[in-house]
Amino acid sequence: MIWTAIELIAILAECFLIARMLVEYFDPKKAEKKFFHIFCLTSCLLACDLLGTFVVKKELFFVSSFVLCGSIYSFFALKGNLLEKLYMSVLSYIMIYFSNLPLLFVITNLTDTNVNEFAYDSQTVIRSSSILISKVIFFFLTQGVLTIHRRKKYHFKMAEWIIILSAFATTLLIGLCVLLLASGSVLTQYLFIAITVLLSILDIIIFVFLQKLGAINQREQTQNILHAQLVQQQKDIAQLDRNYHELSILRHDYGNQIECIRCMLQEDKTTEAMRYIDSLTKRHFASAEQHVSCSSSVLNAVINTKFSAAKSHGIRTSCMMTTTIPDSLEYDVSILLSNLLDNAIEACRQQKSDSSIRLSFAEINGYYRIIVENTIVESVLKKNRKLSTSKSDRKLHGWGLKSVQDIADTHNGSVDFYEKDNRFFVSVLLMKC
């Protein structure tokens, strides 16, 4: 009688720990008290366990009813994703294997006892102690799952959940085969074949999952680099804006300074005029020509700075604007132009013949259209269809067009590359705000 009581206590403890883990993992939908749901789920799991252990006595029935009971109850009474609930129900049973099977093999080897006899027929202090120890191990496993969940919650997509559930289902089937082997099943040969096949399937699932994980990490790394580049470009453009503003002030003061020198010379104050000129020449300022002038000082700073850089390399530039870029877009457009004009200047510098860059802004069908074009000697798209960077350090370069694409996507637009009449075009559409 005492052995049966111990068995029932162990079964009750097992069901309670699974119910507690599921309820605390997902939280109830309506009732604030978790104990009510723990009690209800424990009762359901206990009924499945007792039915599978003492009445049906079929391992397959026990496992399937246990998993389905936890999944169905979680679906109707607890919060969370359906696939995640199924995953946690399968995981709970796999954890039972992890707490029972290793301990079973250790104890039977130490006591030199038959596995089948020890698991089903033996009624000894050692077996009872082993059952209680396995429940303690199971408690720590469930506690570990809850601790990890509280620290960080993971959100997987449908495809990822399918991969995870497939891996767990395969592991579960392998565990069942191992259990049947341990209990001395007559299907030993077939079980070994099944385990081999299942392990191969598990390897494939792991490979697919790692491949998908690698792709996700690559995307995250690209996004982090683009974000870092975007932040730096925003700082650079803000600095360009400040510098351009200072140059505008200096250009305005320049006329007054010339007038002052002229007056001194008219009054024959040559010494004072020379001293004044000396004081001016000691001040060194960067030069930036006024190529364009629009309503946005930020765009002025970027375009004029890039056009001045192009002119220093003997590259002709021109700009045509038939629309006004709103303030909400000026920083994104300035980053876009900074990247595209840098690429155009770099392409023109590699040409020995006469080269030029044209920039145009227009408004068409509810979109702002920005076109940057530059001369080319031979087709770029034929030689480099993916437009990869030609610079040696690919980790630091080659992100400009990715940044342009990212800005276009942000504003529900598009980026198009084409060639015509020995010129390379980049056409960007940005939806109006």
- 270's CB contacts (< 8 A; 6+ apart) are 264
Compute the average pLDDT of residues 277-291: 59
Q: Where on the phi/psi map is residue 365: left (φ > 0), alpha (ψ -120 to 50), or beta?
A: left
For 366-406, the DSSP string reads: TEEEEEEEEE-SS-HHHH-TT----SS-TTTSS-HHHHHHH
DSSP element (H, E) containing 203: helix 188-266
Compute the average pLDDT of residues 380-403: 59
Calculate the CA dihedral of residues 61, 92, 162, 34 and round it to 10 degrees.
110
Q: What is the pLDDT of residue 379?
A: 85
In 3D, which of 368, 258, 262 has the Cα closest to residue 324? 368
Burial class of 74 by CB neighbour count within 10 A (0 to 12, 13 to 18, 19+): buried
In 3D, which of 318, 371, 372 has the Cα closest to residue 347? 372
- 44's CB contacts (< 8 A; 6+ apart) are 69, 73
Burial class of 8 by CB neighbour count within 10 A (0 to 12, 13 to 18, 19+): middle
Which token pair is 407?
A: 């800005």
Architecture in CATH for domain 288-431: 2-Layer Sandwich (3.30)
226 or 128, greater pLDDT: 128
DSSP element (H, E) containing 418: strand 414-420
What number of residues does the chain have?
A: 433
pLDDT band at 398 (very low <50, low <70, confident <90, very high): very low
Helix, strand and coil percent figures for the chain, each rounded to 5: 70, 10, 20
Whether the CB-CB separation of 18 and 81 falls below 8 Å is answered with no
Segment 135-180, tens digit of pLDDT: 888 888 888 888 877 766 556 667 776 777 777 777 777 777 776 7
Total-model pTM:
0.41
* Residue keyed to tokens 């509280």: 150
Amino acid at 405: Q
Domain ranges in the chain? 2-224, 288-431
pLDDT band at 387 (very low <50, low <70, confident <90, very high): low
Q: What is the pLDDT of residue 392?
A: 43
Least-confidence region, from 89-93, 103-107, 111-115, 390-394:
390-394
Q: What is the pLDDT of residue 255?
A: 66
Least-confidence region, from 33-37, 168-172, 219-223, 386-390:
386-390
Instruction: Judge whether residue 225 has pLDDT over 90.
Output: no
Amino acid at 181: L
193 or 231, greater pLDDT: 193
Which token pair is 217?
A: 């990490």
3-state SS of 300-365 is HHHHHHHHHHHHHCCCEEEEEECCCCCHHHHHHHHHHHHHHHHHHHHHHHCCCCCCEEEEEEEEEC
**What CA–CA distance (Å, rounded) separates 264 from 322?**
45
